[in-house]
Amino acid sequence: MSNTMLDAMRAAGLAPHKDIDLRDDGKLTRYRVQGDKAGSRNGWAVLYSHPISSGAFGSWKTGETHGWREASHKPQTPAERAELQRQLAAMRAARDNERDKVQEEARARAAKLWTRARPATNVHPYLQRKAVGAYGVRQLRELLLIPARDEHGQLHTLQFIGPDGAKRFLSGGRIAGCYCPIGRPLDSLLICEGYATGATLYAATGRAVAVCFSAGNLQPVASALRAKFPEMSLIICADNDLTPGNPGVTHATRAALAVGGLVAVPHFEGGAHV
């Protein structure tokens, strides 16, 4: 494996947990990313050696993709440029095919775990600490299971929340455009990041909520819901992160602009929401 490509993988935070046998034949290799849990293979990489060393790598967990090409001062011939374009298309196809396979496996695992779990109750330590109810979520041993569904109701993956609030997702599952629904939408729909926020909004307003799990997923979910409910009022309920760039408000505003929705931002006084 080219050290230069490995350096690029390290710089992107996607270094392999241990050495991997990455052939330069354009075949996709899955691997465990450094820092990921044992047994996971969220990382992927593709490498070609001709006409120049080039490749791509990424993570199913984060959804990111990076390209890499060996630095060269030699001008490329038309044939070499055409071959590089062909390889780029092949890398994209290999990535997409493998992503579909990984996500299909995650859907099957999510369905099995969801079937095994029982409906959660409000006595779960996380729900008690957040003072919110259990709305359409389940519990497996000590873990809360929060479903991530698409706009058609298909379960794609699960978020696990422990008694201490630690959160993780089922490896390889699709998150983009998926959400946890709370309540039945009538004339409006609230869209937010986390489950505790969504449960609080539902209890306070009685309005249906879509929990998106992250700021970056607000716009994909809002777009999917706009297509499903073209006339409905969509209200993006931002997390007011109070950090540089305020990603919660930034992503919420971007999502609202994309779907013609509204933005609701909580304000703080003395460290508390008002």
Kindly report, residue by residue over 63-120, the tens digit of the pLDDT.
Answer: 789 989 888 767 888 888 888 888 888 888 888 888 899 899 999 999 999 999 999 9
- Contacting residues for 77 by C-beta, under 8 A, at least 6 apart: none
Amino acid 274: pLDDT: 35
Residue 258's CB is within 10 A of a number of other CB atoms, namely: 16
> If you ran DSSP here, which 8-state letter would residue 176 be given?
T
User: Which residue, chain included where needed, has tokens 């919420």?
Assistant: 252
Q: Indicate the domain borders of the chain.
A: 3-108, 118-273
Question: Angle of helix 218-228 relative to helix 247-259, nearest 10 degrees?
Answer: 20
Rounded to two decimals, the pTM is 0.80
What are the pLDDT digits (tens) for 16-54?
A: 998 887 788 888 989 999 988 888 888 999 998 888 888
Choose the weakest-confidence range: 42-51, 107-116, 136-145, 206-215: 42-51
Mean residue pLDDT of the chain comes to 90
Q: Residues 32, 13: contact at Cβ < 8 Å? A: no
The strand pair at 233-237 and 208-211 is best described as unpaired
Residue 262 pLDDT more than 50? Answer: yes
Model pLDDT, residue 73: 67
Residue 269, pLDDT score: 58
Q: Are 209 and 182 in contact (CB under 8 A)?
A: yes
Residues 221-231: pLDDT tens digits?
A: 999 999 999 99
| 268: confidence class by pLDDT, cuts 50, 70, 90 | low
| DSSP assignment letter at 259 | H
**CATH code linked to domain 118-273:** 3.40.50
